[in-house]
Structure 1
Amino acid sequence: MTNVNDSPFRAGFGKTPPMLAGRDSILDDFAAALAEGSWSTERSMLIEGPRGVGKTVLLNALEDIAREREWIVISETATPGFLARVTNDHLQRAIDHLDPPTERSITGVGVAGASITTQVTPAPAYPVTLRSQLERATSLTEPHGVLITLDEINSSSIDELAEFAAEHQHAIRNDLEVAFAGAGLRGAIKEALSHKSLTFLRRSLRPPIDFLEYDDVVDALRIPIVDRGREIDAEALDYAVRATQGYPFLAQLIGDLAWKASPQQTLISLDDVRSAYRKARRTMGRNIHEPSLSDLSPTDLTVLARMAADDGPTAVSDLRTSLGVTSKYLSVYRQRLIDAGMIVPAGHGKVDIAMPYLREYLRDHVVSDATTDRALQRPSFPAPPALDEE
């Protein structure tokens, strides 16, 4: 009997899955950058995308690569006070580990060794800054270096981000072995980078991280199941993959729920996957759609609600007419929704809802007279299976 708690899938936010599918090129480029030297552009990276696409998971993987190469890894969240935490806590702990401080030093020995006098080693006279800490840490870990990661980048800590960027730039100019990787929602990063003080971070590599392709999801579901000693038949696997619509969070959630559906069986069946799909759709609403919509303005929601009435892409001209607004007015909210990861351009003069099953969620909660049940269909991904309600 399979242990229900032995699921190989990690459905929580920021949880590293057993297989990080579809991100190999980013990981390979970063690993090469650590080996190549301080001049490599891949040593400064900003990861942006909508909720649930695996931004934090990718940061975790980058950290693992650095640790494997014996780099110091400092992991923080870009909330107020992060600069002090990086400087005075994380880096200081790393420095103390590599070079334990001597609290007292011997200053004299009495006659016949009968007495010993000591004094406390004085604190350094110079101020402790991120720059001085990086210089000290990199000298101690040579020939390796220091990786700093910042999750949830936004404009709430803009002054600290500016100071961090300046110190990181100075470290690179001095050829220190340092690297940086940050992550955040696309709109939040765009807003933060609009500040002139963050010019240096705007030069960071910004690798695309979005939904997975069909074959990537096949691997992300099938390989962990087989490696853990169970099986899934072809029909059930195809159903599960289509149900995810390439969304990494759904891949882990559906995989986890299907694994736990019939733990006494070796084979994960189509019925197990169908049950998982139903539960996942409800969880998607609570954990992804509700938080995403709560960040939007009333006008943003009005635009989305109008788009949800269509079964597919919406013509911007039709949207403008139905809302009774000017092109200039609508373009502001169109861009806001694109930056928030809620909609995507869908061909000339068209936009579409980006998140899987958000259309249905909006119809259920905003557009109550909608009756169809059709999710976004990306050209490169098969349509989702019909959801059989119990």
Structure 2
Amino acid sequence: MDPVRNPFSPGAGSQPPELAGRKTIIEDARIAIERVLLDKPGRSQMFLGLRGVGKTVLLNAVEKLATERGHITSMIEAPENKSLGEQLLPRMHQVLRKLSVVANGKAKAHEALRALRSFASAFKLQYGDLSIAVEPEAGVADSGALENDLPELFVRIGAAAKAVGKAWTLLIDEVQYLNERDLAALIVSLHKTNQAGLPVLFFGAGLPQVAALSGEAKSYAERLFLYPEVGALPERDAKDAIRQPVNDEGADIDEDALSEIFLKTKGYPYFLQEWGHQSWNLAGGERITIDDARQAETTTLKRLDEGFFKVRFDRLTPKEREYVIAMAQLGEGPYRSSDVADALGETPQSLGPRRAQIISKGMIYSPSHGDIAFTVPMFNEYLMRNLSSLD
């Protein structure tokens, strides 16, 4: 079939042609977004899941929903080497600039800008040609303690948004990369705006360990957020994610081809997109057959191995690679840390720092005490498939 018409576009955060299996999450987000505009409490959400399940896609969809309904939105990706304050400063300034041009919001936005100026000075934060042309407000957001100052800023921004009948929605991807201090400050800030009944919402996305990290940062986090699990799609939704885009292009796909793709991808959205993309390009007519789906395996796995999997494996040091290979050689996860230690001829205690470093890189996580698992679906299969070239 014509590759120009190929409806599948596998990529980091790329919007799939059919957002199958996520209707409940999107609907919960819509309700929260609309409630805060009516001065009713809306529950913030933290999307949790492995790599490649579509968390970023969901964040983008939620941002679009919020914008369409009158929210001012700010989207950031938490980096591994940048503070939350540094990331938020330009976004908060942008929000306040937008609010300050509305007559009813000028006074509140001005107060918030003064607090932002104090905050920037206290933390010695700058970006580009940023100029906050107001005097700082002494004693507000200037203590130098993020957990004290950021909540004051959030409250000021929420008050300015409320004054003009708008809301602020903050979205953060890769939440697991926030350090404990930054995560705690964010949680406290959202808690304060929630208590004050201000129109501020948060939607985050991160690896499965984020729920535990949030609870460790602040015990009430479990009551502050919804934690929808974003996982592999069940068979019906997975097939819809392939069938519907194909049909929308005036083509067809055989049921046994859909079953083959689901079997090989296990319903993981990124893999579905990649398999659908290759199957489409291989199809000779206006129908994808099971032969096309089977022939797509070689090209699909090659692309995944050289991109999706390899880019993550390359971040590891030789010793860290040795550790994850030992995991994969034990079979399907989750794995006991003690079993990995036995396989490497070491003790769990001696391997603790190495394990912690791999966790910090977002490659593995601990689903329960003493257990570890890959954050990348089917990563063990990639390692075993390429074992000879990885050694």
Please, what TM-score do these two structures have when normalized by structure 1?
0.72
> Matches of 2:57 and 2:274 in 1, distance apart?
15
Aligned mates of 2:190, 2:373 — CA distance in 1:
39
Q: Distance in 1 between matches of 2:179 and 2:95?
A: 19
Determine if the alignment matches structure 1 residue 135 to structure 2 residue 156. Answer: no
- Residues in 1 aligned to 2:383 and 2:351: alpha-carbon distance in whole angstroms: 20
- Alpha-carbon spacing, 1:213–1:337, altered in 2? closer, same or farther (3 Å): farther
Contact 1:343 1:351 in 2 (8 A): yes
- Asked whether the equivalents of residues 10 and 256 of structure 1 are also in contact (C-alpha less than 8 Å), the reply is yes
Q: How does 1:92-103 map to 2 (within 5 A)?
A: 92-93=97-98, 95-96=100-101
Distance in 2, Cα, partners of 1:265 & 1:8: 16
Partner of 2:15: 16
**What is the rounded CA distance, in whole Å, between the counterparts of 1:286 and 1:130 in structure 2?**
43
**2:50/2:377 contact within 8 Å kept:** no
| 2:323 is equivalent to residue 266 of structure 1 | no
2:323 counterpart of 1:303: yes
Per-residue deviation, 1:146: 2.1
Indicate if the aligned counterparts of 1:49 and 1:341 stay in contact, CA closer than 8 A.
no
In structure 1, which of residues 74, 77, 89 is the aligned counterpart of residue 94 of structure 2?
A: 89
| CA distance, structure 2, for counterparts of residue 289 and residue 261 of structure 1 | 23
| Contact in 2 for aligned 1:231/1:268 (Cα 8 Å) | yes
TM-superposed CA distance for 1:246, in Å, is: 1.6
CA deviation profile, 1:35-54 (whole Å, cap 9, x unmatched): 445665x6222223222111
> Alpha carbons of 1:90 and 1:257: their partners in 2 closer, same or farther (altered >3 Å)?
farther
Distance 1:162 1:355 in 2: 26
Q: 1:134 to 1:84 in 2, by over 3 A?
A: same
Q: C-alpha root-mean-square deviation of aligned residues, in Å?
A: 3.9
Please list every run of 5 or more consecutive structure 1 residues that lacks an aligned counterpart in the other structure: 102-122, 371-390
After superposition, the Cα gap between the structure-2 partners of 1:266 and 1:61, relative to the gap in structure 1 and judged at 3 Å, is same
Task: Name the CA distance, whole Å, in 2 between partners of 1:285 and 1:305.
Answer: 15
What is the deviation of 1:154?
4.3
Q: Does 1:212 align with 2:233?
A: yes
Q: 1:209, CA displacement in angstroms? A: 1.5
2:115 corresponds to: none
The structure whose residues are more often helix, as a share, is 2
Aligned partners of 1:27 and 1:62 also within 8 Å: yes
Amino acid at match of 2:248: D
Equivalent of 1:148, from 143, 160, 170?
Answer: 170
Total equivalences in the alignment: 341
> Which residue of the partner structure matches residue 171 of structure 1?
193
Supply the distance in 2 between the matched residues of 1:138 and 1:350 (Cα, whole angstroms): 46
Structure 2 Cα separation of the partners of residues 137 and 165 of structure 1: 20
Change (3 A) 1:91 1:215: farther
Question: Does the CA-based 8 Å contact 1:244-1:251 persist in structure 2?
Answer: yes
Contact 1:74 1:148 in 2 (8 A): yes
- Cα distance between partner residues in 1 of 2:196 and 2:390: 63
Q: Which amino acid aligns with 1:136?
A: A
Deviations, residues 141-196 of structure 1 (Å, cap 9, x unaligned)? x2x52211112224456665555444333222221122101123345x47964874
Distance 2:323 2:238 in 1: 31
Identify the range of structure 1 (238-247 vs 253-262) with the bigger mean alpha-carbon deviation. Answer: 253-262
Q: Check 1:145–1:260 CA distance in 2 against 1; reply closer, same or farther (3 A cut).
A: same
> Quick one: percent identity of the two aligned structures?
28
Q: SS state of the match for residue 287, structure 1? A: helix
Q: Describe the SS at the equivalent of 1:11.
A: coil
With over 3 angstroms needed to count, the CA separation of the structure-2 counterparts of 1:357 and 1:166, relative to structure 1, is closer
Find the counterpart in structure 1 of residue 70 from structure 2. Answer: 70
Alpha-carbon distance between aligned partners in 1 of 2:370 and 2:195, rounded to the nearest angstrom = 45
- Residues 239-290 of structure 1: CA deviation (Å, up to 9, x unaligned): 122221221111111112222334x721122333234322221121232222
Larger Rg: 1
CA distance in 1 between partners of 2:370 and 2:388 (Å): 23
| CA-CA distance at 1:365 after TM superposition | 4.0
Aligned residue among 311, 321, 324 for 1:291: 311
Deviation at 1:222, TM superposition (A): 0.7
Contact kept? 2:25, 2:228, Cα under 8 Å: yes
- Per-residue deviation at 1:350? 8.2
**Counterpart mapping for 1:1-390 below 5 A:** 3-37=2-36, 40=41, 43-79=43-79, 80=82, 81-93=86-98, 95-96=100-101, 127=137, 129-140=153-164, 142=165, 144-155=166-177, 162-187=184-209, 189=210, 193=214, 196=217, 203-262=224-283, 265-296=285-316, 298-312=318-332, 316=336, 319-326=340-347, 328=349, 340=362, 342=364, 355-366=376-387
- CA displacement at 1:362 relative to structure 2: 1.6
Could you list the runs of 5+ residues in structure 2 that have no partner in the other structure? 107-132, 142-152
Please report how far the alpha carbon of residue 360 of structure 1 lies from its aligned counterpart in structure 2 after TM superposition.
Answer: 3.8
For residues 367 and 349 of structure 1, the distance between their equivalents in structure 2, rounded to whole angstroms, comes to 29
